[in-house]
Amino acid sequence: MVEQKIKLPSSSYPELIKIIQAYNSFNEPKPPKEVASILGTHDTVVSANNGFLLTINIIEGGNKKKLTLKGKKLANALSHDYQDEVCSIWSELVTNNEFLSKILSAIRIRKSMDKSTLQSHIAYSAGLPKKNYILTGAGTIIEIFKVSNLLIEDDGKLVLSHAKPVSSIISDTTIYQEHESKYEFEKKDIKVKVEDKTHPINIQIQIQCTPSDIEGLGVKLQKMFKELNTNIISEEDK
């Protein structure tokens, strides 16, 4: 028995990306016809992919739709060819979707699958017939898995990637060091550890951010710790 159904995309991955970018041309919700006019295609092409885009939280709305905040970030990253950001956002969208997560779990259990078998499995799991346009959509799902660095090809087979998704890594090395203080950034939650020999304190701060938020973060943290250090000295002088 199929536990969950999902509307698969009906277009290839490059075509799906064009639809997402077309939505980014508007600030207000628009019907499929206006989105399709940007692409020079029929509105049914957009409509046929909207179900999937709604399911994974890239667009929102009723008869007229627009990009979600996450969808807009993805569209902007795609437009500027920020591959790390694209990987990060797709990874988050996939792992937050129950159906797509179950597909990855099935691959994990089987260790590996060839592309045609995985396409058939996606179609079956979605409760859809094994028709050409359905298999095209399933192939797009596979491309999304690969772009998000969750799935890789190994000796002609598709296997789960052992690499950490970009969304879960910032850096495992010290990126800034000054006056006996250490700043260590680890994984998705940025862990900041401060060790000061003059003033024996230990502070840990968890910061939620995406790779696009990294720029300028070191300067802000430096300023914050200088203020903390000043406050500590002021308290000791009292």
Digitized pLDDT (tens) for each residue of the chain, 238 residues in all: 344 467 899 999 999 999 999 999 999 999 999 999 999 999 999 999 999 999 999 999 999 999 999 999 999 999 999 999 999 999 999 999 999 999 999 999 998 899 999 999 999 999 998 899 999 999 999 999 999 999 998 888 999 986 544 443 333 332 333 333 333 433 344 444 444 444 445 455 556 555 555 555 666 666 665 666 555 445 555 5
31 burial via Cβ count (<10 Å: 0-12, 13-18, 19+): middle
Rounded to two decimals, the pTM is 0.66
Say if CB 210 and CB 86 are below 8 A apart. no
User: How many other C-beta atoms lie within 10 A of the C-beta of residue 214?
Assistant: 14
- Which domains does the chain show, CATH number per domain? 13-160 (1.10.10.10), 169-237 (no CATH)
Task: Please report how many Cα atoms fall inside a 13 Å half-sphere around the Cα of residue 141, on the Cβ side.
Answer: 33
Q: Specify the pLDDT at position 22.
A: 96
Q: What is the pLDDT of residue 221?
A: 63
The DSSP letter of residue 216 is: T
- 58, 76 Cβ separation under 8 angstroms: no
- pLDDT at residue 85, as a whole number: 94
In this structure, are residues 49 and 180 in contact, taking their beta carbons and an 8 Å threshold? no
Residue where the block lists tokens 């094994």: 130
pLDDT of residue 155: 84
Residues 6+ apart with CB under 8 A from 210: 73, 85, 88, 89, 167
pLDDT of residue 156: 85
180: left (phi over 0), alpha (psi -120 to 50) or beta: left
105 burial via Cβ count (<10 Å: 0-12, 13-18, 19+): exposed
Distances (CA, A) of 139 to 13, 181, 226: 8, 49, 52
